Every structure is written in C-alpha cells, then in structure tokens.
Amino acid sequence: MTELSAHLPQFQHGQLTENFPDNHLSNTNDNSERRRHDNSERRRNDNPESEANGQPQNSTQQVVEQDEEEDEELTLKYGAKHVIMLFVPVTLCMVVVVATIKSVSFYTRKDGQLIYTPFTEETETVGQRALNSVLNAAIMISVIIVMTILLVVLYKYRCYKVIHGWLIISSLLLLFFFSFIYLGEVFKTYNVAMDYITVALMIWNFGVVGMICIHWKGPLRLQQAYLIMISALMALVFIKYLPEWTAWLILAVISVYDLVAVLCPKGPLRMLVETAQERNETLFPALIYSSTMIWLVNMAEEDPEAQRKASKNSTYDKQAPANQTQNEDAEADDGGFSQEWQQERDNRIGPIESTPESRAAVQALPSNSLTSEDPEERGVKLGLGDFIFYSVLVGKASATASGDWNTTLACFVAILIGLCLTLLLLAIFKKALPALPISITFGLVFYFATDNLVQPFMDQLAFHQFYI
Amino acid sequence: PALGLFLFTIARDPLRIIILIAGAFFWLVSLLLSSLIWFIAVKASDPQDEPLQKGLLIFGVMFSVLLQEAFRFLYYKLLRKAIEGLVALSEDGCSPISIQQMAYVAGVGFGLMSGAFSMINLLADALGPGTVGIHGDSQLYFLTSAFMTMVLIFLHTFWGILFFHGCEHRRWWEITAVVVMHLAVSGSTFCNPFYVGSLVPSYLLMAAAAAWAYSLSGGSTQNLRRFFLCKS
C-alpha cells in the first residue's frame, strides 16, 4: 500500500482526478489503487500529447513529487468539495425528517413497537425500563449482525441472485408501502381530501420511477433525491417505532458495532470488502458499476438497509461522469471555482482567461476522456445507513427534547462536524472507514448535554433577555 | 441579514462552509461548558433565593463571554495550523483562502450560532397563538429580541475579524478591546427590559467595531465613496 500511495500524490496536482479516490469514505485499498495505478499509467502516456497544449505537466509533477511527504495530510483543500457534496444530502435528509416530525404527529405517537424490540418501556420502575431497553437493543443488534453475516455468506458463495432479489423486494416495500403511509399521514395532517385513485396513481408513478432510478439508470439528481427520500422514510419509521431509551442505546451500540465491523480483521464488513477486492468486482452489478465499498456502515437491520446502501453508492458513482469535468476543474486550485465549472460544463473547451486556475483547468482537460472510463472513482460515497442513523438522531432530538430547536441545531452541527472529521481521517488513512462512530458520538454527547445543561441556561437567559 | 451574508459570501466556497460550521461548533462547545458551570453553580445553591439566582445568572453570562473568547482564540490557533497545511498543498504557494477571509467566516459562524440559539425557540413560539407582554412584560419583546440578535450576530462577525487581526499582528490591546466590548454588550443587556440601555449602546458599539474592522481589512473612505456612487 505504501508504494501505491506514493503514486497518488504525484498526480494530485497534475491530474486532479487522483484526489477523488482518497476521499471515498468507503474506499478500499487495493482495488481502487490498482485502478488508480492504471490511470496514472495511462496519463503518463498522455503527457507527451498534452505538452502540445502548452501545459507544463512534467514540471508540475516534479514540483509535486517534492511535496509528497507533506501531502499526507491533503484534503483540507481538495476535500472541501467532497465534504460539501456530502453535507448537502445529509442536511436535506435531516431537514426532511425534522420537518415531518414537527408537522405530522403520526410519527411521534406511540402506536406499538417493532417486532424486533419486543420489550416495552412502559414499566413501573426505572430499573425494569433500563433492563428492557438493554434487551431490546441487544435483540436489534443481533438481528443486524445476523443479517450482515448472512449477506457476507451469500456474497462469498456467489448467490448473487438471492441478494439481488432481496434488494428488489426491500426497495419495493419501501418505495410503495412506506411512502403510501407517509403520504396518507401528511394528507391527514393538512386536512387535504384525496381520493384513492389519485393516490394510487401518484404512488405508482413514484414507486416505479424510484425503482428504475435506483436499480437501473436515471438522472443523477433524481437518483440522489430518491435515495434521500427513502433514507428519510426509513428514519421516520425508526423514530416512530423505537421506544426512547432503546433508540439511544441502539444508536450508541451501532456506532461501536460499526467501528468493530469495519476495522477488525475478522469483521463481516471488512471481509465483504476484501472479498470484493479479491474478485475485483463491484458488489452489486445491477446497482453500481464501480466501487467495492458500500457496506461501509452498519449492515442491514432490515432488508431495505442493504439495498439502500448499495444504491447510495451507485448514486455517487453516477455523479462521477456527470461531474467529472467540473470536479477536476473545480479542484484545480481551491474548493470553489464556480466560473471555471460553468465554462467547462458549457463549452468543454479550454478556459479563456489565463489565470492560474484556468491553466490548471486546462491541465485537467486531457484526462477527461480517460476518466469517463473510470467513473467509479470520482465523488465521495457514503452508505445510506449513515444517512438513516444521522436522521434518526436529529429526528429524535427534535421530537423528544425539551430544548427543542436548540437541541436539534446542536445535534445537527455536531453530526456535520463528525462527518468532516471522518472525511479528514479518510484522507489520512485512505481506506474504508466507518462513518458512524464519530458523528454519532458527537451527536449523542451534544444531545444529552444540550438537553440537560444548556436548555435551562438558555431558558433563563431568554426569560431575562440577557445575551451572551 | 445574517442569512443574506451567508448566502452571498459563504455559500459559494465549500471551504468557507466548513470553516463556518466549525466556528459554530466551537461556539457551541463554549456554550456547553459555560452552561455546565452555571448548572453546577445553580444546583449547589439555594433555588428559592431569587436575587442569588439572578446573580448566578449574571456570573454565568460573564463566564460564558470569557469562554467564548477563549474558544475564539483556540479556533484561531486551529485555523493557523490549517492554513499552513493548505499552503503546503496548493500549487502556487499561497493559500486559497486568506486569514482575513477565515476571520470573517469564523466570526459569522460564531454569530450565526449564537443568534440561532437566542432566537429560534422564540420564533417557534411566535408561530403559535398568544399575545406578547400580556402579563405586564414589555410588549416589544419580540422586536427587541430580533434587533438584539441581529446586532449580536454582526458584532460577532466584526469581533472575529478584529480578534484574528490582533492575533496575527500580536497586538494584545486589540484582543483585550474585543473581550471588553463583548463583556460590555452582554452587560448592557442586563438592564433589559429597560431597552434603551441595551440596544443603543450595542448599536453604537457595533458601528464602531464595523468601522474598525473595515479599516483593518484595507478599506478606506475612498472605497466607500466609490462603492456608493457605483464605481463612478
């Protein structure tokens, strides 16, 4: 791994596309680096031609090689783009969940519990409640572990059809059934009269387009939107059906499990990732045409999880071809080059001004055609389970906190910062990393702290109208 | 207005967004710690004693102000290190984002977070039914809160610029001036609901800080004049 990573910094400046694999949350070592190596080979061959464009490729490479050692930290600059690419969907998902929780009361009513959490929390004593929630959490976690191992086993023995069928069924369930319930509840809340035929038509269209987008091909934005929507739906289901203490316990245990599963040598997720690497293939051929990561975070607790994670990755892979040019150009000097973006995207010709940015953008041009063959390595990927659990945390915070919006805001900022840190770590370690632990830890700490400590303080301040 | 600031100046550059969120985070942590201290103090004291509670609150506020400034300093240190990393990474040897921009963004981050925390529950309650000040409290509660919050957000922004500038050039008096100003503004809110006492000085201080920050960032009256006359 060390000599391969040495190649990476070489091309970080000259060929901006190299940066992207570094920022994959769920990127694996060998597979992608093998590909990166191939890319760099091809680009080296390309360099003589690109000289004709007046681009000092070789000189930049030499200059950059000197910076190799310093470049281990990387990313604040290149990663800024990726972090934002992740911030936006996570924020959107959380916003949708919070908005729903605040307005639709269905999701905060106690209508029973999932079969996975059989013990009730409406007990007489605190001790019994604690015990029940611990048992609930234990059952849930064991369900998750069993599912994960099942998936790994299926993958190992190449039962692709089974996995495929499983995913399709779960996405069907999610897209049709849950969104039907959601729509019904929203209508009830706003007292909108609606007949069954219209609803059936809407749900049918929604579901079918969703299936096509997620499992096959579709416009990038639409696919992202669908994935965000189903993550939000799943999170809402969790918020509704998991009792209080169980939910917090599950969140805590999930992050620990995630840490273990991804990083330990015998962890199921890691085995999955390594098996995929050995076979040098993607995990779900029908869903993605690249990446081996996925299962970055927590595996399926229920079927929809798995499929969502897989499709989540496919989202960001597909993001690649659409955004390659923009990404490369945008990464030229700093994280935000909107003008160069526009130019590249619209004209596909070299930039007009001779600013340093445009020079770098032009440098990136020759690699355009190449990178279209390797779409998987662009963009950052995050498992859908991450989305779901972040949203569960924020949703629960907004639903049950006494500090209400303050707590929600605090958890939101905490989760975003955790995500930043995780991405930073990813850039440093350059291998598959669990995205849950840091963010969830921050989120939990901030939730409990804000709810119990900050809230009384702010209340008093607001009452007297003091300002700090 | 703060949201407008955010949209126009920060939302375009992802690096700035990260710095903003990190700034908000630091403010949040400082708030957390200060409320922890206050909470302990309250629990350790007699809840029935009204003036004592108020005194404790004042103490909490002062302590929180000091903590906020301390965290601003910490954040400054972190950003210094980050700039070194960025410079090492960039191609042409200079950082994609200057320390002044960072100061500005950090200030906005602090300000947004403090504003959000001050206002948002108020706003949420304002959506519901009810009359302001029906129990004899001031009827201008919402208005004054809104203005106070706005002035505080702007102040945080300017303080960020001033503070970082002071740290850059090692002018300790600038830093102490910022701290003193912050304390003064918070202190002036203690005479709420006698609103004149708090709003007016705050706005004056804000104007002063704005002018100071502007001059520090290299502006001048000529620039201003040109700007207002639309670059004539």
Which of A33-37, B33-37, B65-69 bottoms out in mean pLDDT, i.e. has the lowest? A33-37
Task: Please indicate whether, in this complex, the C-beta atoms of A333 and B13 are within 8 angstroms of each other.
Answer: no
The pTM of this model reads 0.67
Does residue A29 sit at the B interface (CB-CB below 8 Å)? Answer: no
Task: Determine whether the interchain pair A338/B68 forms a contact, defined as Cβ–Cβ distance below 8 Å.
Answer: no
Nearest residue of B to residue A59 by CA position? B91
- Residue A436 neighbours by CB under 8 Å, 6+ apart: A254, A255, A258, A259, A297, A298, A385, A386, A389
**Better pLDDT: B180 or B199:** B180
Q: Which chain B residue has its CA at the smallest distance from A464's CA?
A: B192
Report the alpha-carbon distance of residue A146 to residue A168 in Å, rounded: 20
How far is B147 from B134, CA to CA, in rounded Å?
Answer: 21
Number of domains in chain B: 1
User: Is A386 annotated in the active site?
Assistant: yes
Tell whether A416 lies on the interface with B, counting CB pairs under 8 A. Answer: yes
d(CA A236, CA A241): 9
Annotated active-site residue in A303, A317, A333, A386 = A386
Residue B196: the pLDDT is 55
Q: From the candidates A22, A258, A333, A374, give the one annotated as an active-site residue.
A: A258
**Best to test chain A binding among B26, B28, B191 (most A CBs inside 10 Å):** B28
Contact: A336, B18; criterion CB under 8 Å: no
Chain A partners of B149 at a C-beta cutoff of 8 Å?
Answer: 467
Helices A303-330 & A160-172 angle (0-180, nearest 10): 90
3-class secondary-structure state, position B176: helix
Instruction: Report, as ranges of residue numbers, the positions in chain A whose pLDDT lies below 50.
Output: 1-77, 284-378
Closest chain A CA to residue B68: A468
Q: In the structure encoding, which two tokens stand for residue A27, read together?
A: 């990127």
Q: Cα distance from B229 to chain A (closest Cα, Å)?
A: 27
d(C-alpha A230, C-alpha A92), whole Å:
12
Residue A25 Cα to chain centre, angstroms: 8
**Structural domain boundaries, residue B131:** 1-229
Q: Which residue of B has its CA nearest to A73?
A: B85
- Res B132 pLDDT > 80: no
Residue A334: active-site member: no
Interchain CB contact of A77 with B (< 8 Å): yes
Q: How many beta-carbon contacts under 8 Å exist across A and B?
A: 151
Q: What is the pLDDT of residue A345?
A: 43
Task: Report the distance separating Cα B186 and Cα B170, nearest Å.
Answer: 26
Q: Nearest C-alpha of chain B: how many angstroms from A72?
A: 10
Token pair 């409320």 is found at B35
Could A335 and B13 be called an inter-chain contact, meaning their C-beta atoms sit closer than 8 Å? yes
Residues in chain A with CB shorter than 8 Å from the CB of B92 are 333, 356
What is the C-alpha separation between A150 and A163, in angstroms, rounded?
10
Contact of A72 with chain B, judged by CB distance below 8 Å, is answered with no
Q: What is the pLDDT of residue B56?
A: 72
Burial of A30 (0-12, 13-18, 19+ CB in 10 A): middle
Better-predicted residue by pLDDT, B13 or A230 = A230
Among the partner-chain residues B14, B39, B68, the one whose CB lies closest to the CB of A80 is B14
Contacts of A13 in chain B (CB under 8 A): 91
Q: What percent of chain B has pLDDT over 90?
A: 0
| CA nearest to B150 within chain A | A467
pLDDT computed for residue A207 by the predictor = 85
| pLDDT digit string, tens, across residues B90-125 | 655 555 566 666 666 677 667 667 667 666 655 655
SS3 A3: helix
CB-CB under 8 Å, B12 with A338: yes
CA distance A466 to A464: 6
The answer to whether B15 contacts A417, with C-beta atoms less than 8 Å apart, is no
Which among B35, B116, B190 is the nearest to A453, CB-wise?
B35
A466 interaction partners in chain B (CB closer than 8 Å): 57-58, 61, 186, 189-190, 192
Quote the minimal CA–CA distance from A368 to chain B in Å.
21
Q: Which residues contact B17 (CB under 8 A, 6 or more apart)?
A: A80, A84, A87, B10, B11
User: What is the model's pLDDT at position A372?
Assistant: 34
Rg (CA), chain A: 24
Q: With an 8 Å Cβ cutoff, are A83 and B186 in contact? A: no
What is the predicted pLDDT for the residue at B197? 56
Nearest chain B CA: its distance from A274 CA (Å): 31
Q: Which one of A77, A359, A424, A438 makes the best mutation probe of the B interface by having the most chain B beta carbons within 10 Å?
A: A77
Structure tokens at A372: 């279209």
Q: Cα distance from A244 to chain B (closest Cα, Å)?
A: 23
Cβ neighbours of B186 in A, within 8 Å:
466-468
pLDDT per residue over A416-444, tens digit each? 888 888 877 877 777 767 778 888 888 88
Mutation target for A interface from B30, B43, B92, B117: give the one with most A CBs within 10 A. Answer: B117
**Cβ-Cβ contacts under 8 Å, A418 against chain B:** none
